Amino acid sequence: MTTHQAPFTALASVYDAIMGEIEYDGWAEFVLTFLRSEGFTPANVLDLACGTGNSTRPFVEAGLQVTGLDLSRDMLLVAQKKLPEVNFVQGSLTDFRLSERFDLISCMFDSINNLLTHEDMLACLGHVKDHLTEGGWFVADVNTRSGLRDLWEGGVIEGVVPAEDGQDVHYHWSHHYDEDRELGMIQAFFRMEDGSEFIEQHTERGYDPQELGDLLQKAGFHDITICEYPDYAEPDEDTPRVWIFAKVKGAKRG
């Protein structure tokens, strides 16, 4: 029997097996290199939508004090097991409230695309701004409309990988782009070796560079850079994914 689960719940048990090839180390170095070029060395980081901690780990290994935040309790349980020294907090991108401010706030692997309206994006950016130290930076990677429209060749990715409990898991992810609503829908199907099956439905909205710049300015950020990975090149109309670097006012920390 196939069960339908909320996004990022059942997925937590197989997420690391499927996402083992993602360039988390390269992304962290890309971020820290940019900040060094700006004369800025962060001491602490808030990693938003941290999931199972894969985007958190490289910052820990770089010697930074890291807090991870995610809405999914299931994902956080996996993250805490892997990184027991990290403070993980359950919270929403649009309404998180912590007692600490951070030099760097990151949101990686197109997680910010889960915000489907300008109102939600501005709510998130407002909370980011409120949690940054003076001169702190916000960094995120974002699927553009073009990137989300053509997410995977043929609209499907699938494979078989070993899960943490030793079972093989077959995954089949199909993608559909709704042109009218400008939303990408992913149906993530999983079949475990024991015969159990589950499906999660995920929805994202693409954001183009000019749109992102306008939203960041409206939220009160400045020194905004929108570029490509890994060479910091200026994006064009066909760039599938961009990185944003945006700063709040204040003196730099060198």
- Cβ neighbours for 135, distance < 8 A, ≥ 6 positions apart: 40, 103, 247, 248, 249, 250, 251, 252, 253
| 66: amino acid identity, one letter | V
Superfamily per CATH, domain 19-143+208-247: Vaccinia Virus protein VP39 (3.40.50.150)
- The number of angstroms, rounded, from the C-alpha of 105 to the middle of its chain's C-alpha atoms is 11
pLDDT at position 240: 97
What are the CA-CA distances from residue 151 to residues 17, 31, 181, 187 (Å)?
Answer: 20, 23, 16, 13
pLDDT at position 250: 62
Straight-line distance from the first to the last Cα atom of the chain, in angstroms, rounded to the nearest whole number:
57
pLDDT string in tens for the chain (254-residue length):
689 999 999 899 889 988 988 999 999 999 999 999 999 999 999 999 999 999 999 999 999 999 999 999 999 999 999 999 999 999 999 999 999 999 999 999 999 999 999 999 999 999 999 999 999 999 999 999 999 999 988 899 999 988 777 788 899 999 999 999 999 999 999 998 888 899 999 999 999 999 999 999 999 999 999 999 999 999 999 999 999 999 997 644 44
Please, are residues 17 and 161 in contact by the beta-carbon 8 Å criterion?
Answer: yes
Q: How many CB atoms lie within 10 A of CB 12?
A: 20
- Cβ neighbours for 47, distance < 8 A, ≥ 6 positions apart: 55, 56, 59, 66, 67, 68, 69, 105, 106, 107, 108
pLDDT at position 6: 92
Which pTM does this prediction carry?
Answer: 0.95
Please, are residues 156 and 148 in contact by the beta-carbon 8 Å criterion?
Answer: no
| 190: amino acid identity, one letter | F
Helices (H), 96-239: 118-130, 145-149, 209-218
